[in-house]
Amino acid sequence: MSAPMFLVDALPAGDSFVLDGPEGHHAATVQRLRAGETLLLSDGRGTLATGHVDTVGKGTVSVALGARSVAPAPDPRLVVVQGIAKGDRGELAVQAMTEIGVDEILPWAASRSVTQWRGDRGFKARDKWAATAREAAKQARRPWLPVVGGDPDCSTKQVAARLGASAFVLHEEATERLTTVPLPSSGEIVLVVGPEGGISDAELAQFDGATPVRLGREVLRTSTAGVAALSVLSARLGRW
């Protein structure tokens, strides 16, 4: 089993570090790390350090730092515009997409989204997605933490403005396949995933700069469509 990873604001230049706060509590109380065990520390921005536990206190772990590495930022970046889904399906999508390797997730208030994020509820929901991504990144031992959202619920107009030269919309009536469309070697790939009711014709018309694509004959749930599409892209881009 690989060593557990913990996220820190920044890694010091020295050879020792005290892990405290929520991460220290998790390491000492939940993971129950003991002296001599190995762990990983990351700043979520590419830097990863191997450490060995020296001592364990109440909610703190003293770590002797070892080898460090810096992973380059992913290129091209994989951005998913995820239609806001009801219940926990959105969080399930965020968790799995983070484990697969998504670099940015934008919550989209699609016209057919059953759940609407408004006011304080929107900020709380977005923060929950961010927390889900953070924990999934730790589970996957990702040195780069994905970015979640800007506005809690991007409008269709905002999504359309974000679409660049390499943008794709998952759509069940599309004729082109994600397995064969041309992909850029650098920059950004934006993938739009609709909510439970799918993407309306009016929304698709606003995304006129994007290419509608499909994965196969099956119609996937909103919580799995982005995961499947990212798997295809990860294989095609050589990430896998």
Structural domains of the chain sorted by starting position, each given as residue range(s) with its CATH number in brackets: 5-70 (2.40.240.20), 77-237 (3.40.1280.10)
Cα-to-chain-centroid distance, residue 107: 12
pLDDT exceeds cutoff 80 at 119: no
Distances (CA, A) of 124 to 95, 133, 233: 17, 14, 30
Kindly state the average pLDDT of the residues 106-134: 87
pLDDT exceeds cutoff 90 at 92: yes
Contact 76, 189 (CB under 8 A): yes
- The mean pLDDT value of the chain amounts to 92
The better pLDDT of the pair 150, 54 is held by 54
pLDDT exceeds cutoff 80 at 153: no
Distance CA 90, CA 124 (A): 13
The pLDDT > 90 percentage for the chain reads 75
pLDDT at 168: 97
pLDDT at 1: 66
Kindly state the average pLDDT of the residues 198-207: 93
Q: Which of 6-20, 132-146, 150-164 has the lowest mean pLDDT?
A: 150-164
pLDDT-based confidence at residue 49 (cuts at 50, 70, 90): very high
Question: Peptide bond preceding 184: is omega within 30 degrees of 0, i.e. cis?
Answer: no
pLDDT exceeds cutoff 90 at 150: no
The better pLDDT of the pair 78, 119 is held by 78
Q: Which of 71-75, 130-134, 189-193, 219-223 has the lowest mean pLDDT?
A: 219-223
Kindly state the average pLDDT of the residues 121-140: 92
| Helix H or strand E encompassing 225 | helix 222-236
Kindly state the average pLDDT of the residues 28-57: 94
Kindly state the average pLDDT of the residues 109-122: 82
pTM of the model: 0.92
pLDDT at 197: 84
pLDDT exceeds cutoff 80 at 124: yes
